[in-house]
Structures are given as C-alpha cells and as structure tokens.
DNA sequence: AGAATATAGTTTCAATTGCAACTATAATGA
DNA sequence: TCATTATAGTTGCAATTGAAACTATATTCT
C-alpha cells in the first residue's frame, strides 16, 4: 500500500524544496544571485577557467542555464570571457577580482547554512547521507529512461 | 573550503531533480498527469474527502497548485466537488470511480519505481535516509527565515 | 577541397510557476 | 446589527524555465 508520507520521491522533493527555498532566498537577498549564478561562481572558484560546456558538466546545469547565468554575471562584472583559441564556437569563462571577492564572502555563509542544516548529525550520518543521495541519483539516471532515449535531454537546475 | 561536489544543498538538489525528472516523465507519458495532479490523487486516495486547504497541508502543495490541479482533474472526471455545508467558501474534493481506478493503476507503478531507486538499500539504510531527510527538512524550515517573516508564504510543488 | 554532419552556444517561444489582487464567505467586535 | 477584519479559493500578470530552432564553427567523409 502506497503512503505518500513515506514515498521516497515525495520526501526527497519536500526536503530539497525546503532547502532550496531557504538558500535561494538568502542568496538572492544578500548577494543578488540566483541559484544557477551561485553555482557557476562556485564552479569557477574551483576551476579557474572553463568553457560553458565544462561548467554544465561540473555543475549539472543545462547549457541554456549556463548561458543565461554567465550573461548575467558578465553584465555585473563578476565573470569575464576570453576566446578559446582551439575552438571558435566556444570561449573560456573565469571570475574577475570582483567575482572572487564575492565568492569569498558567500562561501562562508553557504557553509554556515549547511552546518545549520546538518547540526546534530554525526560524521557517519553525514557521509551516509551523501552516499545514499549519490546512489539514488545514479539509479534515477541509469534506470530505463522509458522507451524513447533522452540522451540529449537538457537537465534542470536547482540549488 | 567549500567543495560544490560535497555541498549538501547541491547534492540534495541534484538527486531530487534526477528523481523528479524521471518520475515526472513517466507519470506524464503513461497517465497524462503532472506531479501535483498525481500528488492530489494520492492524497485523496488516502483520505476519501478533503478541502483544498487540507490537501495542501497533507501534500505540501500551495493553494494555487491545488486549485489548478483540482480543476484539471475535475475536467478529466477523475475528481468531484461537493459543497461544504459548514463553510460556503470551501468545498470537499474526492476521487470519482475513474479517479480511483487510475490510482490503482498508478500506485503499483510508483512503488515499482521507488523500489528501483532503492534497490540494494538495506531496510536500515532506507529508514536512515527517511529520517535524515525529515531532519533536514525540519532544519530548513525552522531556521531563521531571514529578517522578514514569511509565515504566509506559498510553498512550491515538486514530485 | 567541398558537402554533409556534428557540436558550442544563443535566442525565441510556449509552458509552468508564484505572487498579488480579487471574490465570496465567515468571524469578530463595537 | 453593521462594520471590520480574516480566511478559502481563483484569476491575472510577470518572472522563470526549457525545448526547439538558429548561428557559427568544427569535423568527417568522399
């Protein structure tokens, strides 16, 4: 018998929405960033210089989302573009000094929020949660994607 | 040091999106239902007859979403409306026979999908996951909701 | 080399979403 | 009782989102 209350996709969605809503509100209010913009910044902070394609792969963002987030950040002077000498269709993105400065402001706030969410969780529990989430993600992606292949499918955003 | 790859809100969002995308596709293709519509059906299957407000509470759906999902289901003849004698602003919703029939078709499919996602998880792990998700959800909701109260805030949907 | 096909990224358009305003009814309080 | 305020649900509008079409460059195949 199915009980919505205990149904994993439901629980996962509710938890994720609660977290997303909270974080999204905070990023927007304090830094004027939307979630994909924040993700893009976080990725560039870790990788120095990447093409939009690589950013998408690193952060599970579809190319449309990356394109729009990048445009907004370039507009604000937080990110710069540089041509890719080996492929004229593409280009490299990296943080400007301002972008890096913003990141060093946000990162601690993000970590603090995470800490708050995980307050009272043991190290074991934290790792278990990560592992479980990854396995579910893998299962959801691998699983029979129905009859028609959706190889080229664009991925949604999120936090 | 913040690593997006291990950042809980990110992992949670990615996992939830993967699951949502998969399930949503399946519900839509096989039953012509959007996620909130499916949720509404699942709730009514468990509760017999509820007002939109109660449905929202039971399924973490905001009132707009409930209103629209109900309209669509009534249109399809899967749900009926009956006036609420004790409050003229409200009304009761319940499944029609067709609605119930559809539910008995979907429920096993939903459970099968869940089983697939959780394949290889022990009973302990499943319970741990549920518990962790609930605690995170609670933490996200309780947490300092910023400066301005958002008591009356409408909740987003999801799976 | 030239044609055909594939890929990176952007833009357009349609669907979804949520907030705010609205309608209708109920509850409260002078 | 009548005015005020609160609540249930719906609708209009604006913002967000994604799929498909598009542009430009690259690769492959003859």
Contact of A104 with A61, CB cutoff 8 Å = no
Which of A86, A74, A72 lies closest to A28 in space, CA to CA?
Answer: A72
Predicted confidence at residue A153, as pLDDT, reads: 39
> Which residues does residue B81 pair with via DSSP β-bridges, in sequence order?
B93
B34-46 confidence digits (pLDDT tens): 999 999 999 999 9
How far from each other are the two terminal CA atoms of chain A, in whole angstroms? 33
A22-46 burial, b if ≥16 CB within 10 A, otherwise e? bbbebbeeebebbbbbbbbbbbbbb
Predicted confidence at residue B159, as pLDDT, reads: 52
Would you say the C-beta of A67 is within 7 Å of strand C?
yes
Q: Which residues on chain B are in Cβ contact (under 8 Å) with A140? A: 15, 18-19, 21-22, 117
> CA-CA distance, B57 to B53, in Å (whole number)?
6
Would you say the C-beta of B90 is within 7 Å of strand D?
yes
pTM of the model: 0.89
Taking CA B14 as the corner, what is the angle to CA A42 and CA A76, rounded to the nearest 5 degrees? 30
Burial of A152 (0-12, 13-18, 19+ CB in 10 A): exposed
A32-57 confidence digits (pLDDT tens): 999 999 999 999 999 999 999 999 99
Which of B59, B55, B38 lies closest to B92 in space, CA to CA?
Answer: B55
Would you say the C-beta of B146 is within 7 Å of strand C?
no
Compare all CA atoms of chain B with the CA of A19 and give the residue at the minimum distance: B140
Q: Which residues on chain B are in Cβ contact (under 8 Å) with A10? A: 39, 159
Interface test with B, best of A7, A8, A40 (most B CBs within 10 A): A8
What Rg value do the Cα atoms of chain A yield, rounded?
18
Kindly report which listed range (A67-71, B15-19, B140-144) carries the lowest average pLDDT score. B140-144
Which of B54, B56, B96, B92 lies closest to B74 in space, CA to CA?
Answer: B96
Confidence of residue A145 (pLDDT cuts 50, 70, 90): very low
Confidence of residue A1 (pLDDT cuts 50, 70, 90): confident
What Rg value do the Cα atoms of chain B yield, rounded?
18
Give the residue whose CA sits closest to D17 at C1'.
A156
Nucleotides of C under 7 A from a protein CB: 7-12, 16-20, 24-27
**B85 pLDDT more than 60:** yes
A74-128 confidence digits (pLDDT tens): 999 999 999 999 999 999 999 999 999 999 999 999 999 999 999 989 999 999 9
Predicted confidence at residue A151, as pLDDT, reads: 37
**B155 pLDDT more than 60:** no
Q: Which residues on chain B are in Cβ contact (under 8 Å) with A7? A: 42, 110, 114
Contact of B130 with A153, CB cutoff 8 Å = no
Predicted confidence at residue B52, as pLDDT, reads: 97
Long-range Cβ contacts of A119-124 (<8 Å, 24+ apart): A119/B139, A120/B135, A121/B132, A121/B135
Token digits for A112? 């603090």
Which of B18, B40, B22, B36 lies closest to B94 in space, CA to CA?
Answer: B40
Contact of B93 with B49, CB cutoff 8 Å = yes
> CA-CA distance, B17 to A13, in Å (whole number)?
8
Distance A64 CA to C10 C1' (A): 8
Cβ contact (<8 Å) for B8 and A156?
no
Would you say the C-beta of B67 is within 7 Å of strand D?
yes
Nucleotides of D under 7 A from a protein CB: 7-12, 16-20, 24-27
Main-chain dihedrals φ then ψ at residue B122, nearest 5 degrees: -75, 165
Residues of chain B (58-77) having a beta carbon less than 7 angstroms from strand C? 62, 64-65, 68
Confidence of residue B61 (pLDDT cuts 50, 70, 90): very high
Percent of chain B with pLDDT over 90: 79
Interface test with B, best of A5, A19, A124 (most B CBs within 10 A): A19
């Amino acid at each position: 018998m199915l009980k919505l209350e205990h149904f994993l996709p439901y629980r996962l969605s509710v938890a994720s929405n609660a977290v997303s809503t909270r974080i999204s509100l905070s990023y927007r209010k304090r830094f004027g960033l939307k979630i994909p913009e924040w993700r893009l910044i976080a990725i560039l902070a870790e990788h120095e210089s990447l093409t939009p394609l690589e950013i998408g792969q690193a952060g599970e963002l579809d190319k449309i989302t990356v394109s729009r987030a990048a445009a907004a950040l370039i507009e604000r002077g937080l990110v710069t573009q540089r041509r890719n000498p080996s492929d004229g269709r593409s280009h490299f993105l990296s943080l400007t000094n301002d972008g890096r400065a913003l990141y060093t402001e946000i990162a601690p706030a993000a970590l603090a929020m995470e800490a708050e969410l995980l307050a009272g969780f043991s190290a074991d529990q934290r790792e278990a949660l990560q592992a479980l989430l990854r396995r579910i993600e893998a299962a959801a992606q691998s699983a029979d994607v129905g009859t028609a292949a959706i190889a080229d499918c664009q991925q949604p955003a999120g936090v």
